[in-house]
Structure 1
């Protein structure tokens, strides 16, 4: 039901809520009934409390959402009869258009009754009532239209939550005022209840009426074990009220489980020759311009009929016969009749109960529920991706707008996420940009659970520890940026191989303790030395032909006393770009290129252990490789068997630079 509650209900006992101060130790979880009862806007520092009337426990909403601001209702709107749960609201004034509560029930059922309540009470002091949308999961639920500051509004939906996903309720800013909420409840239902609610449609409550009582009491928990609200309704000018103190029972296959307290009263027409009529108006909205409606009629015979009398009647909805034969309710047994398909296309709907020619008594009606049909055909993000990205959000405490479904609806996809929307499969996460997001700690293995991930940017954070080798198993990953973190250890060989074969762009610069040899990180003096000269140049790649352009910078040959060019030379500077190693006559001389130099282990990593030979020259073999930023390079080795000596090699370096 979207709209104000009957004002008479404001004085009903269940709303008085004189509350005991019982502290609840667990936030964000259900009670032992599987119920979740949330007082929205209640400070997290405040104790939870127990409603004296229902004995249900209420908690702060802080454990269910990490956005919004708490407010108190303006004092002028608070009355002694008002329950505590109305005193506060949570308001969503931030930049995000969608803000979502995540409700996890301990119950095993997948069908839920979800209820949200609203009372503006001029909490923000601007005296401007808003209009906004609600979504349940990835589907539009209803539009909340607050009529005035002191009228409470309740909306309710019965919906099936597939798989092990939590129920999510999202408030969506549509540009007509700031969304807010007073209370939120979740009640698990048995799968057999409300069979019209299934994987393709939910039921949005329009009204739920307890007929035949002039009492203002609203029947709910504990009389109703499912905590449905049954509002009293009477028409003294049209209906007579009948009642019984005897318990009304249920058949084993009852799909609605209406409490006996509701079924113990009923109405019948004052004029026995007239039908009972119950009408409602269609409530179209911009998101659902032609809603369909389903109704459930609850019957029970409350009187022992004298011999020779009969109560039988036809059930019509807008002139359409619901049952081929007349209906006779059973004595003291709940006997529901419900529509199996939605009625639509009318501005007004009327249920009419007309006595059959064989009936000596007028029709009777105990209670009625009316729902609009909510299409639930929206497909949420793949469950594995939701689980993985939720773990990532929790580990790194990502705020942003990461609420609700990660990819759906498209207009509310999480900031930094790229998603694919294939027709034949659920949406999946294909890109994740968390650059400069303040991430700390080690790299979560959950990144590797995003199987469709193609792009991952974790640069400019404070990530520590090693790079998970399992990332190599992301077959779709083509770009990985780990630049400017505090990672350490070796880059997994699988990632290096993919970088070298061109299937992955891997960036990992500015991680001082990160090694790129793919195997181990050992001190420099334990690394393998070479008796050959290595020279790295940056080539330009043409189609199918690698043109090796040796980028050689000015080199100053420093010759020291020593033996002939047998002994290997020590690297002079490991932080430059080009490197040539040779031997001086005294075994201590080295050739120093005024450019960036690499360790032998780095050169091994760039070339995958000198695996791909791409040519030979006068000085020796040339190997294909890739720098850490993905730049393709060639590594030339001077062989000791080369006919050309070190001086010729250096001469080629100098000539190439000119």
Structure 2
């Protein structure tokens, strides 16, 4: 058995590296990252200035990376690693010591087209530290590969085939805390749509290896111009095992060819050294933390190179780990390129053994010309809407913004740009809805690109040095509800379109402290007194007087117990601080108004059939089943008449909050009742009850949730909390997150409920909320909050961590084992011993991926850290749970179909751990259903060449 030893692997890696210096095509790259006449982009990362050079072995022109990225620093590798044969492209690199994510943007592409993207990384001890880094690489918003360089003299190559959704693509390096990311070269090559059908809009191919069998020298690399797509074909030479076969005659391609292997590759092949033997080789998976079980696709290229006599037969079977992967015996066509390939990944193995065996009828040994092996990775994550991205990139370039504005503005959420708010829909691209660039040092005119953000609701450009006229194009942004231009140097008049929007009540325009802006003439004023133009002198004084008067009046009326109440619900907080809230859905600043339906007590009696069916009981209220006039089922939460002031305060707080928060993972309020002494809230009906009931097996006839269902419920609940923390203005702390406050509808979709204890806080000035009493539920309560009486958003994170542990274990927050013990302490004790199976809920009957359960348990333990600063944010939790759910969905699909794609798989070319095996090993030729599992296909040839004579 021949294996690639570390020495031979290093040699082959160096030879591959040398070959990359001989790249392929003519013409200069134009300014700002334009492809050349072939559509190629070839970048020498770290080459200073705007210089470039032509490769001395080809006509391909390499350009500096100026114009492709706006961060990082130039470096040269250490002199000791610059050898005479090392290509010039690898002498320099660019490192990115600042920021978490840094990206290269490749422009002028064709949306929907396939591209080959290739990046190389040669450390060469450029920083003198002798510590090669580890970091992640993304294509667009999708994780591609972790780069882990172990040898300063070696290099890592990544190559992928992807469908580009927009007219640009970004390649991003992400710092994971284990060294400074860097890059040596970056290439892009267009591919025809028909090529590599396994790659599509949701799945990319990451190269594991591409080998050419049969060359007589292990330095004979084939790439452009022999390969018009500039793929690199590495020679595989094993003269002790194989006999090389070759021809000088051209090998033709059929019209339906979907791989277009170059003639130079197809003109060589191998057969066994022993004419009666087999061809055998194998590869070992490249495993990494985010991809512990990669799935592989293989493309085997065949062409008969020898003119056979009429009696000669070359016929063979192809086997993987002893199982047939093509349902019948195969005969390669004479001087025509043919391929056998699988469309979906193989089943997962610890080693992949390929054996090509002659049939009993064959008079000639088996042969093969070349093979390509790819792992698959998900490209299903949708980035920000392309027009929004282009607009923000133009805005960034105009104002030279130096924030974390790198890569996609909104996705992934953990790397979203500062000062932006985005809306997310799993089936649609994210949209930019809020931009806050107040006091950001902006100067010049307002960029016309703002007018291209047609989902924008809130734009704050206040307190900058912007000048010129206010563009009327902003009035065409139909979703824009707040435009703050105060504190700038604008001149001229307010455009008529904006004034019209102000008049019809769809826009709140603020323009104060612009000394050169015309505001006195008729042409500058709003058409009538209903204008919302902000006047910042008299209005605040009037508001203060009015609010104070109303507050005093309400207190007097309450003390006299006068029964009538107006339609405004004032915030009843534990402190005396009052605030003006913002309607998140519409962006208007106003005092809170209940806009839902108002019910009378008699109406509630009617829709609940005199409060006949109780759905649940709380500390201050009962929940009843009801039906509206149109048949809509609802839940009615009725405050008990004898409840104390605390219950009344929580009712008012919940009513106020529910009028301004709207999210798919928060329970919606349909209406309310304020009828003399009766208080009630009417909610959407959640037919499947509480998560607590499902964990305890008290719903669905005792049927327990599957692991996939638990993951989805966890993710949806986390998204609801994330919205409270980031999407609300002001943000909210729930303060009573627990399994019984997570409700499920008929589709088992999760929604957070019970906002009676929620508190608002200012994210700019406060890190916590001061309270006069501790509230919450035993077992879920943040110990730091309990000690300080100051809840934070990390208090909700702690409680959610307990919910995650309940989902993993199927146990309650406080257990009796036999003495009372927190689920956190119970789980930590067992997980510290590596005993995940002793923690996981047995009711799932093992139908889960152990790695996925471990990851969720780890998230839960991080959420329940004693010190709040060590806990993740809910945005971090959402991102990690999304990864867990994607992995689990892939596992279940693979389990159902025995052959399906899980995503997030990729492997480095430099890990070429493929090897030929000892031919004395006999691999049986099994027939049967394996062919269906692997779904191997063959290009249908339209001709077989001249008949053998």
TM bracket (short chain): 0.7 to 0.9
Q: Following the alignment from structure 1 to structure 2, what is the Cα–Cα distance between the partners of residues 520 and 59?
A: 54
Q: Following the alignment from structure 2 to structure 1, what is the Cα–Cα distance between the partners of residues 86 and 411?
A: 38
Matched residue of 2:428: which SS?
coil
Equivalence for 1:271: 274
Say whether the 8 Å CA contact 1:9–1:217 is kept in structure 2: no
**Superposed, which structure 2 residues align to 1:444-455 within 5 Å?**
444-455=447-458
**Superposed, which structure 2 residues align to 1:76-155 within 5 Å?**
76-94=80-98, 96-105=99-108, 110-155=113-158
The structure 1 residue matched to 2:419, chosen from 416, 419, 443, is 416
Output the aligned Cα RMSD.
Answer: 3.0
Which piece of structure 1 moves more, 476-485 or 151-160? Answer: 476-485
Matched residue of 2:475: which SS?
helix
Say whether the 8 Å CA contact 2:28–2:61 is kept in structure 1: no
Q: Following the alignment from structure 1 to structure 2, what is the Cα–Cα distance between the partners of residues 11 and 277?
A: 24
Matched residue of 2:62: which SS?
strand
The structure 1 residue matched to 2:373, chosen from 359, 370, 373, is 370
Matched residue of 1:330: which SS?
coil
Kindly indicate whether residue 161 of structure 2 is the aligned counterpart of residue 158 of structure 1. Answer: yes
Equivalence for 1:329: 332
Equivalence for 2:662: none
The structure 2 residue matched to 1:36, chosen from 34, 41, 45, is 41
Q: Deviations over 1:520-544 (max 9, x none)?
A: 359xxxxxxxxxxxx987255579x
Equivalence for 1:53: 57
The structure 2 residue matched to 1:183, chosen from 182, 185, 200, is 185
**Superposed, which structure 2 residues align to 1:63-74 within 5 Å?**
63-74=67-78
* Greater RCO structure (CA 8 Å; 6+ sep): 2
Say whether the 8 Å CA contact 1:491–1:518 is kept in structure 2: no
Q: Following the alignment from structure 2 to structure 1, what is the Cα–Cα distance between the partners of residues 71 and 297?
A: 36
* Length-normalised TM-score, structure 1: 0.75
**Superposed, which structure 2 residues align to 1:371-390 within 5 Å?**
371-390=374-393
Kindly indicate whether residue 245 of structure 2 is the aligned counterpart of residue 246 of structure 1. Answer: no
Matched residue of 1:337: which SS?
strand
Say whether the 8 Å CA contact 1:157–1:203 is kept in structure 2: yes
Distance 1:519 1:124, change over 3 A: farther
* Cα drift, residue 499 of structure 1: 5.3
**Superposed, which structure 2 residues align to 1:646-657 within 5 Å?**
none
Q: Following the alignment from structure 1 to structure 2, what is the Cα–Cα distance between the partners of residues 44 and 332?
A: 49
Q: Deviations over 1:121-180 (max 9, x none)?
A: 111111110111110011001111111111122110000002x43021001111111100
Kindly indicate whether residue 441 of structure 2 is the aligned counterpart of residue 438 of structure 1. Answer: yes
The structure 2 residue matched to 1:353, chosen from 335, 353, 356, is 356
Q: Following the alignment from structure 2 to structure 1, what is the Cα–Cα distance between the partners of residues 23 and 356?
A: 42
* Cα drift, residue 322 of structure 1: 2.3
* Cα drift, residue 200 of structure 1: 1.4
Distance 1:197 1:491, change over 3 A: same
Equivalence for 1:200: 202
Equivalence for 1:645: none
* Cα drift, residue 463 of structure 1: 0.9
Matched residue of 2:517: which SS?
strand
* Cα drift, residue 438 of structure 1: 2.5
Q: Deviations over 1:395-424 (max 9, x none)?
A: 223232222211111111112111111234
Q: Deviations over 1:312-365 (max 9, x none)?
A: 111222334222211100111111111111113211112221112211111101
Query: Is there any run of 5+ residues in structure 1 with no aligned partner, and where?
Result: 523-534, 548-658
**Superposed, which structure 2 residues align to 1:518-529 within 5 Å?**
519-520=522-523
Q: Following the alignment from structure 2 to structure 1, what is the Cα–Cα distance between the partners of residues 374 and 209?
A: 7
Distance 1:546 1:233, change over 3 A: same
Matched residue of 1:388: which SS?
helix
Distance 1:474 1:243, change over 3 A: same
**Superposed, which structure 2 residues align to 1:172-571 within 5 Å?**
172-215=174-217, 216-493=219-496, 495-496=498-499, 504-516=507-519, 519-520=522-523, 538-539=542-543, 540=545
* Cα drift, residue 502 of structure 1: 6.5
Q: Following the alignment from structure 2 to structure 1, what is the Cα–Cα distance between the partners of residues 507 and 110?
A: 45
Matched residue of 1:295: which SS?
strand
* Cα drift, residue 516 of structure 1: 3.1
Matched residue of 1:387: which SS?
helix
Distance 1:188 1:22, change over 3 A: closer
Q: Deviations over 1:462-511 (max 9, x none)?
A: 11112222323334333322122111122235545655777544332221
* Cα drift, residue 518 of structure 1: 8.0
Matched residue of 1:373: which SS?
strand
Equivalence for 2:616: none
* Cα drift, residue 236 of structure 1: 2.6
Distance 1:5 1:437, change over 3 A: farther
Query: Is there any run of 5+ residues in structure 2 with no aligned partner, and where?
Result: 1-5, 526-537, 553-949
* Cα drift, residue 9 of structure 1: 6.0
* Length-normalised TM-score, structure 2: 0.53
Equivalence for 1:26: 31
* Cα drift, residue 111 of structure 1: 0.6
Distance 1:364 1:18, change over 3 A: closer
Q: Following the alignment from structure 2 to structure 1, what is the Cα–Cα distance between the partners of residues 513 and 252?
A: 74
Q: Would you say how many aligned residue pairs link Structure 1 and Structure 2?
A: 531
Q: Deviations over 1:275-310 (max 9, x none)?
A: 212211112322222221100000011111233110
Please tell me whether Structure 1 or Structure 2 has the larger radius of gyration of its CA atoms. 1
Q: Following the alignment from structure 1 to structure 2, what is the Cα–Cα distance between the partners of residues 64 and 14?
A: 24
Q: Following the alignment from structure 1 to structure 2, what is the Cα–Cα distance between the partners of residues 126 and 242?
A: 48
* Cα drift, residue 393 of structure 1: 1.9
Distance 1:92 1:159, change over 3 A: same
Q: Following the alignment from structure 1 to structure 2, what is the Cα–Cα distance between the partners of residues 295 and 203?
A: 11
Q: Following the alignment from structure 2 to structure 1, what is the Cα–Cα distance between the partners of residues 224 and 262?
A: 10
Q: Following the alignment from structure 1 to structure 2, what is the Cα–Cα distance between the partners of residues 231 and 419?
A: 45
Q: Following the alignment from structure 1 to structure 2, what is the Cα–Cα distance between the partners of residues 496 and 22?
A: 53
* Cα drift, residue 434 of structure 1: 1.5
Distance 1:402 1:85, change over 3 A: same
Distance 1:105 1:229, change over 3 A: farther
Say whether the 8 Å CA contact 1:493–1:519 is kept in structure 2: no
Matched residue of 1:426: which SS?
strand
* Cα drift, residue 461 of structure 1: 1.6
Say whether the 8 Å CA contact 2:23–2:230 is kept in structure 1: no
Q: Following the alignment from structure 2 to structure 1, what is the Cα–Cα distance between the partners of residues 85 and 115?
A: 30
Say whether the 8 Å CA contact 2:40–2:187 is kept in structure 1: yes
Say whether the 8 Å CA contact 1:211–1:265 is kept in structure 2: yes
